[in-house]
Amino acid sequence: MKIKLQHFNELDGVRAIAALMVMFFHFFKEFTATDKLLVLIQKVAIFGQTGVSLFFVLSGFLITRILINTKSTPNFFYNFYLRRTVRIFPLYYLFLIIYFFVVPALEHTQIVPFNEQIYFWVYLQNIGMTFNWNLSGPNHYWSLAVEEHFYMIWPLLVYYLSKKGIKIAIFGIIIMALITRILLINNGYGVFYFTFARVDELALGALLAIWEINERLKSENSKKFLLLALTALVPTILLWTVTGGKGLDIIQITKFILLALCYLGLIGWLITVNETNIIKKSLKHKWLSYTGKISYGLYVYHPLCFMLIKRHLQPDNILLYFVLCFVSAFILASMSYYLFESKFLHFKKYFEYNTSKQTV
């Protein structure tokens, strides 16, 4: 019998919001604003970079609930890693080919030396960015490396540990991340990129999956999740405003865990709140659901779209520039999903979690 978990449609909308937040941040950070309205928009857009934290918490939750519910099935590791492979690797490596070889060929520019791009091919770009190695490539790929490192190790822990052991591991990871940020506090952006400095956000998402197994994601707990989100939101906004989102002081140690708690509370609230709630219903809108479906492509392609439009079209009107950037990203991500990614997703049916087979 095929294992089928409950699908939370509202989380497709959350995934869409996370992608749009990052896109807004990357678009508006390029401007030196003088207009008062644009200055205000930029101040709001800076919070868009926290969309990565939202991705991390959401991924930690979704992946862990899959792992916990399928760990007793035959060929558990085989199925999990191959399902991840057909979802992540094709687009990941296609974009690297486009970035490192196709674009330079079309623009008649020099190809990045292989010794500078190799880190991106083996998911070590965030490590290189942390310690200032000699590398060059799509910088936004750092977060994909963090998630891939998590996917490599976390299934092993979930498989071999009891539910109590998983909880202990989660809190151990949170403590490890805090210590890592203390050690890297003088390393500038190292706090931002390093796997061990950000993995607590994924771990908190995993904790939410444990709560689901323990049947704590019930409607009677929705107010508790909302309170958690709001309680974490206030100091998060204050710290983010004070540090400009990239401060190099001791505040960096607590900023990411506060963000994760805020988004954990938000996701927990969305799952448990009444179906008639207007926010929950809005997140299930067809457009947001579609955006969530292509969000991986949006995240991967949008910096290249923004760069090429700026370089070759150079629109003077910021509204026109915005429309061109976002429309091109949506078109490219949509084409990629239906013409390329979906061809590989088709293979997932060969790696189903099935309880009817005999364990080998």
- Domain of residue 268, residue span: 9-351
Q: Which of 37, 20, 39 is nearest to 29 (CA)?
A: 39
Q: Is the pLDDT of residue 347 over 60?
A: yes
Token representation of residue 210: 């444990």
Q: Per-residue confidence at 360, pLDDT binned at 50, 70, 90?
A: very low
pLDDT at residue 243 in the model: 58
Q: Are 135 and 120 in contact (CB under 8 A)?
A: yes
pTM (2 d.p.) = 0.94
- Assess if residue 167 is contained within a domain: yes
- Assess if residue 294 is contained within a domain: yes
Lowest mean pLDDT among 21-25, 41-45, 296-300: 41-45
- Assess if residue 270 is contained within a domain: yes
φ, ψ of residue 354 in degrees (nearest 5): -125, 120
pLDDT at residue 358 in the model: 38
- d(CA 243, CA 225) in angstroms, rounded, equals 27
- d(CA 310, CA 258) in angstroms, rounded, equals 35
pLDDT at residue 237 in the model: 80
Average pLDDT, the chain: 92
pLDDT (average), residues 216-244: 86
- Describe the crossing of helices 51-70 and 142-160 by its angle, rounded to 10 degrees: 30
- Assess if residue 360 is contained within a domain: no
Q: Are 217 and 10 in contact (CB under 8 A)?
A: no
Of all residues in the chain, what percent carry a pLDDT higher than 70? 95
pLDDT at residue 244 in the model: 53
pLDDT at residue 337 in the model: 98
Q: Per-residue confidence at 299, pLDDT binned at 50, 70, 90?
A: very high
Q: Are 332 and 305 in contact (CB under 8 A)?
A: yes
- Assess if residue 359 is contained within a domain: no
Number of domains in the chain: 1
- Assess if residue 238 is contained within a domain: yes
pLDDT (average), residues 35-59: 92
Q: Per-residue confidence at 34, pLDDT binned at 50, 70, 90?
A: confident
Q: Is the pLDDT of residue 245 over 90?
A: no
φ, ψ of residue 251 in degrees (nearest 5): -60, -25
pLDDT digits (tens, 9 = 90+) for 170-187: 999 999 999 999 998 888
Token representation of residue 35: 């207009």
Question: Cβ of 56: how many Cβ atoms within 10 Å?
Answer: 27
Q: Are 206 and 56 in contact (CB under 8 A)?
A: no
- Assess if residue 262 is contained within a domain: yes
CA dihedral 245, 177, 222, 64 (to 10 degrees): 120
- Assess if residue 3 is contained within a domain: no
